[in-house]
Structure 1
């Protein structure tokens, strides 16, 4: 998913909660002590802006390879019917939307290291059936194509299907879900044209299951979460009670699954609302055949994780794949993953109104160029991913060589982000403001 606001909530809903609790490193901000207070206040004001209010926010900034700042504001659960609201905190988990694609890719690259996958092999060989665009039958689709959104797969017929429906029924002519074949684009052969497609990651997750023999959600726990001591995952029905209690509901001020926004109305829960009942197991999971359809776990957007744990992942990437002395991924593997794979040349892809311009394997590149900058006035280039789903807006942006980075998780917006446009990028204005404030106060260390 790509990157994706009104009635005043007041301090009771959006009060700052910024200070970190319990044995964590003390957050610092470059400059005098009052700089911390100034940044807290600036971020709180952004969250409360009448143009686009944020139901909650959790941010983290890394400077010189260390966590330098954490801040939370707003409510992870907005109380209704007499039930109390629950404030966001440093351990609150959010469904991070498409940043999940980058996390899935980290798991996949571990399988590449283990020799179970090869980036340039015909992906159909892993699936057990042909994966070929009928418009270009002589061109294999590879994992490299899937990971760089150049596979020619499209989301026109959907990208999430019941567990009982194998992806083969969608991808192979004559299958029950194949229809008119609109999931295959006639634009150009695999590897030659970029179009952002969530379906790529459903295929990727299914391939990961096929070669490992493990269900996708549990496989990602083994490959990434457990080795790094991270909380969350792709399947809330298996979360421990503590994680589930600290999971943020995602909100919008619009009705569920419609495009009609009502900024003056109430916050309406979109997903991960478990205030009345615990999360159900994915439908049909008891009879699911591993390796046939991983989309119920949403490899494309279903990872839940806190900003703090996302910071641990970012530090691992900055430290050549090491986490607390343990090698999670080899440095050369990460170099391959974050190497450029596609760059827009004016005609070789769909940039989605300028949002996508450069891509690696499962990650977006953020050049410090006019119209593409993450921070106002420039000064920060990096890699990572953006996310938008169900009101959630998220950013993971890291300068791996400089060991500086920013994580932003917003749990809900009150107005259409497409209307609240940025001034110097394709992002909504509030994301520009958050990233610029973090960069100015923490990474650049300039006084305001």
Structure 2
């Protein structure tokens, strides 16, 4: 009995010391990030560091609403740009588990309109081609010109981006894609496709990502937002995450800033699956933790085989025109909408008007970090953003 009591006492002391050490480390990290935030080139941002078990650290800095001095917190939500595409990957693999599709199926098996590379009309584009950005579809000029829609008809002093269109121009994304990709479409051009066979060359495409979500919708017979909520967001208890404002607590939504002192008019994406997910660092941290678990064979959203396919590289040197081996180049290799750098960082980056995001985990340490910012980055803002992420990386193994 004395030995048992001694063991329990020692164990409690060890836990207490560890807790104090973690608390000290957390305070130090917060202090370092606060010092960087004081440069004031980014109005508001949130971060998280996670492992496969939990969110180790999440915090917000600066302001979600500068004029009203509303703090940016770990529960503040905003769109996260192309990090959203990783959800398409998980959704496709869940549908494959359910027997609704196969990644090597031709996409025309599931589409209401035909999509074919006009330079190689006999070659089928597959779902895997879309998911690895080797479909030979390129982002047409109409994607930029017609893809961003103002949420409001009146925007006061807020800046309206030159590519933002009237709220009256909002259309369903399937019609948007048909107009661009169908040979009968209003905006169709042969140059919307590369002169390469599907599968031969990597060409990052937002339009292709949206098309993959449309394929999934038709394969499972359920809207993409409902499918991802049912099979990803709800199981992970991502309670304030969704593709539209109605799906989240919009009172927690950050304003976006075209410049440090200039608000950007609120906008939405027509082709929303490619970058329109709205979430917080708290919720996205849960998602990243699940990805790390899945990478190590312990995920809950997908089975082991699906996670293995999610992270299996599909590209080689021949698929690239120029292949950068920088630490966080998520285009070095590609799983199923899952980027992989040459240094073993796995995840995705994202950028839209006044939005910049990074979400990666280190495949060696099994620790991940993410950063969400609400301000268009100036030269100084880029430096601040990089320094924030470097600081997170330096604490990967300290928490």
Q: TM-score surpassing 0.5?
A: yes
Pair 174,102 (structure 1): closer, same or farther in 2 beyond 3 Å? same
Of stretches 301-310 and 428-437 in structure 1, the one that deviates more from structure 2 is 428-437
Unaligned 5+ segments in structure 1 are 1-27, 254-262, 273-281, 283-294, 369-380, 422-427
Q: Cα deviation per residue 1:67-100 (whole Å; 9 max; x = unaligned)? A: 2222211111222xxxx23111221112110000
Tell me, in whole angstroms, the C-alpha distance in 2 between the residues paired with 1:58 and 1:430: 13
Between Structure 1 and Structure 2, how many residues are aligned?
353
Query: Which residue is equivalent to 1:174?
Result: 184
Where do 1:1-400 residues align within 5 Å?
34-49=24-39, 53-63=41-51, 65-79=53-67, 84-159=68-143, 160=147, 162-163=171-172, 165=175, 167-178=177-188, 180-186=189-195, 188-230=196-238, 231-236=240-245, 238-239=246-247, 243-253=249-259, 266-271=261-266, 296=270, 298-320=272-294, 327-344=300-317, 348-349=320-321, 355=329, 356-368=331-343, 381-400=344-363
Report the alpha carbon displacement of residue 32 of structure 1 after superposing the two structures with TM. Answer: 7.1
Q: Cα deviation per residue 1:192-222 (whole Å; 9 max; x = unaligned)? A: 1111110011211211221222222223222
Tell me, in whole angstroms, the C-alpha distance in 2 between the residues paired with 1:157 and 1:140: 24
Pair 109,90 (structure 1): closer, same or farther in 2 beyond 3 Å? same
Report the alpha carbon displacement of residue 353 of structure 1 after superposing the two structures with TM. Answer: 11
Report the alpha carbon displacement of residue 250 of structure 1 after superposing the two structures with TM. Answer: 1.8
Pair 402,171 (structure 1): closer, same or farther in 2 beyond 3 Å? same
Quick check: which one's helix share is greater?
A: 2
What SS does structure 1 have at the residue aligned with 2:190?
coil
Query: Which residue is equivalent to 2:396?
Result: 443
Pair 182,420 (structure 1): closer, same or farther in 2 beyond 3 Å? farther
1:46/1:430 contact within 8 Å kept: yes
Query: Which residue is equivalent to 1:258?
Result: none
TM-score normalised over the length of structure 1: 0.71
1:252/1:267 contact within 8 Å kept: yes
Tell me, in whole angstroms, the C-alpha distance in 1 between the residues paired with 2:129 and 2:306: 17
Tell me, in whole angstroms, the C-alpha distance in 2 between the residues paired with 1:350 and 1:221: 37
Pair 350,244 (structure 1): closer, same or farther in 2 beyond 3 Å? farther
Tell me, in whole angstroms, the C-alpha distance in 1 between the residues paired with 2:59 and 2:75: 11
What SS does structure 1 have at the residue aligned with 2:358?
strand
1:92/1:246 contact within 8 Å kept: yes
Pair 308,104 (structure 1): closer, same or farther in 2 beyond 3 Å? same
What SS does structure 1 have at the residue aligned with 2:243?
coil
Tell me, in whole angstroms, the C-alpha distance in 2 between the residues paired with 1:72 and 1:251: 16
Report the alpha carbon displacement of residue 42 of structure 1 after superposing the two structures with TM. Answer: 1.8
Query: Which residue is equivalent to 1:256?
Result: none
Pair 269,169 (structure 1): closer, same or farther in 2 beyond 3 Å? closer
**CA RMSD between the two structures:** 3.0
Tell me, in whole angstroms, the C-alpha distance in 2 between the residues paired with 1:78 and 1:343: 46
| Deviation beyond 4 Å, 4+ runs, structure 1 | 28-34, 350-355
Query: Which residue is equivalent to 1:277?
Result: none
What SS does structure 2 have at the residue aligned with 1:385?
strand
Q: Tell me if 1:410 matches 2:394.
A: no
- Name the larger-Rg structure: 2
Tell me, in whole angstroms, the C-alpha distance in 1 between the residues paired with 2:71 and 2:316: 41
Report the alpha carbon displacement of residue 384 of structure 1 after superposing the two structures with TM. Answer: 0.6
Tell me, in whole angstroms, the C-alpha distance in 2 between the residues paired with 1:208 and 1:341: 20
Pair 138,420 (structure 1): closer, same or farther in 2 beyond 3 Å? farther
Tell me, in whole angstroms, the C-alpha distance in 2 between the residues paired with 1:300 and 1:150: 16
Unaligned 5+ segments in structure 2 are 1-17, 148-169
TM-score normalised over the length of structure 2: 0.79
Tell me, in whole angstroms, the C-alpha distance in 1 between the residues paired with 2:270 and 2:22: 49
Q: Cα deviation per residue 1:297-352 (whole Å; 9 max; x = unaligned)? A: 610000011111111112222223899x993211210110111111445x723559
Pair 352,271 (structure 1): closer, same or farther in 2 beyond 3 Å? farther
